[in-house]
């Protein structure tokens, strides 16, 4: 028979795994009498657990919510998951950083050595909470490779919507540097020695190989800020966080109306009903579309590429509205233009 303290902890673990436990089933699982189960339940109640007992031939026990938080038991996977969540919360800028850090410290202090080693290897930064599920073991393995400065070998899933496109996974070998949660996904920033360039990979599309590669000397991500580097890649930028396409226009609208919708641009009043706007986007067409959302007249200041993008959009709009198709001639014999 297990010692009393060990048996009580086992009882608590069982009560946490399902809503209702028949008394006879608990006695069989613990290899004790029904009377011993009742005494152990009383010991848990003294520790602050609210356990409701039901009488009768099918009577049993149910662990309920209490007024205070008593000690909890976690299995290995729950403990790792809890630590991942607490570390993310400690970096979330959500106002709970200090409490999350204290909770993380408390959890680590009482963990078995085998789990503590896994958690010590888990290091990441976060921008917003991740939403796309990623295997816990994958996060731990990637973090361990970052800490050990060892190459990661993995197969990377390709995505596409073209019929007949080859979507078979592509083998990759990357020197991992940063693991970041942003915009609902996990991203790995690493140096691809074969391409001699930095690459960003979505972790949910990675299937790790069984062995890691050679050790490497860490590099500094361009700009020295992994968050800024990732934001720049989201924008399609090759130089820091700057948008690859940036232009200036005059909008026939008051600056006060435009400013709330230009988060990372520059707005300068030109008059009571006009303003100068400098804004960026990942393409000239996207920039033109962003400016058209104000539904006012637009005068392009620079560059010529933005003027061409407006002309292209105008032609597409004309087609959508049932006007002349691209390349058709007007009655006067000239090509249609907008």
Q: In the prediction, which pLDDT does 167 show?
A: 74
Instruction: Please state which of the four CATH numbers 1.10.10.10, 3.30.70.260, 2.60.40.1180, 1.50.10.100 is assigned to the domain occupying 4-64.
Output: 1.10.10.10
Q: In the prediction, which pLDDT does 275 show?
A: 93
In this predicted model, what pLDDT tens digit does every residue of 258-286 receive, in sequence order?
A: 888 887 778 888 888 999 998 888 789 98
The Cα–Cα gap between 252 and 295 comes to 9
Please, what is the average pLDDT of the chain?
79
The Cα–Cα gap between 338 and 336 comes to 7
With residue 245 as reference, give the H or E element that holds it: strand 245-251
Q: In the prediction, which pLDDT does 243 show?
A: 75
- Going by C-alpha positions, the residue among 249, 241, 225 that lies closest to residue 304 is 249
In the block, residue with structure tokens 């990759």: 172
pLDDT in tens, the chain (338 residues): 456 677 887 888 788 777 788 888 888 888 898 889 889 889 888 877 888 888 776 678 888 876 555 666 677 777 777 777 777 766 554 455 567 767 777 777 677 777 777 776 666 665 554 456 777 778 888 888 888 899 999 999 887 656 666 678 889 999 999 988 776 788 899 999 888 889 999 998 999 987 788 899 999 988 788 887 887 777 665 555 567 788 999 999 998 888 888 877 788 888 889 999 988 887 899 899 989 989 999 999 999 999 999 999 988 888 888 765 555 544 443 333 32
Q: What is the pTM of this model?
A: 0.48
Contact 8/47 with Cβ under 8 angstroms?
Answer: no
Q: In the prediction, which pLDDT does 121 show?
A: 66
Q: In the prediction, which pLDDT does 335 show?
A: 34
The Cα–Cα gap between 148 and 140 comes to 12
Angle at alpha carbon of residue 120, lines to 82 and 97, rounded to 5°: 50
Q: In the prediction, which pLDDT does 131 show?
A: 55
Instruction: Output the DSSP codes for 146-189.
Output: HHHTB-EEEEE-----STT-----EEEEEEEEEEEEETBEEEEE
The class (CATH top level) of 245-320 is alpha beta
With residue 276 as reference, give the H or E element that holds it: strand 275-281
Domain ranges of the chain: 4-64, 76-234, 245-320
């Amino acid at each position: 028979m297990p010692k009393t303290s060990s048996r009580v902890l086992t009882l608590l673990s069982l009560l946490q795994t399902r809503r209702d436990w028949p008394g006879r089933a608990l006695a069989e699982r613990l290899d004790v009498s029904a009377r011993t189960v009742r005494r152990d339940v009383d010991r848990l109640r003294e520790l602050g657990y609210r356990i409701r007992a039901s009488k009768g031939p099918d009577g049993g026990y149910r662990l309920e919510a209490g007024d205070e938080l008593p000690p909890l038991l976690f299995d290995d996977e729950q403990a790792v998951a809890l630590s991942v969540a607490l570390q993310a919360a400690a970096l979330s800028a959500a106002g709970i950083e200090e409490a999350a850090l204290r909770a993380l410290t408390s959890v680590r202090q009482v963990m078995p050595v085998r789990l503590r080693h896994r958690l010590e290897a888990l290091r990441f930064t976060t921008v917003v909470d991740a939403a796309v599920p990623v295997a816990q073991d994958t996060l731990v393995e990637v973090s361990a490779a970052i800490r050990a400065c060892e190459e990661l070998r993995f197969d990377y899933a390709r995505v596409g919507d073209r019929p007949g496109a080859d979507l078979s996974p592509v083998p990759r070998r990357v020197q991992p540097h940063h693991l970041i949660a942003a915009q609902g996904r996990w991203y790995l920033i690493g140096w691809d020695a074969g391409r001699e360039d930095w690459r960003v990979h979505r972790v949910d599309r990675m299937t790790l190989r069984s062995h890691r590669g050679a050790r490497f000397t860490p590099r500094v991500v361009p700009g020295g800020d992994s968050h800024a580097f990732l934001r720049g890649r989201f924008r399609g930028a090759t130089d820091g966080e700057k948008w690859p396409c940036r232009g200036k226009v005059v909008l026939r609208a008051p600056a006060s109306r435009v400013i709330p919708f230009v988060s990372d641009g520059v707005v300068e009043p030109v008059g009571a009903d006009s303003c100068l706007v400098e804004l960026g986007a990942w393409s000239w067409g996207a920039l033109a579309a962003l400016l058209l959302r104000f539904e006012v007249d637009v005068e392009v200041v620079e560059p010529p590429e933005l003027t061409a993008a407006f002309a292209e959009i105008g032609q597409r709009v004309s087609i959508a509205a049932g006007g002349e198709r691209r390349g058709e001639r007007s009655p006067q014999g000239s090509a249609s233009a907008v």
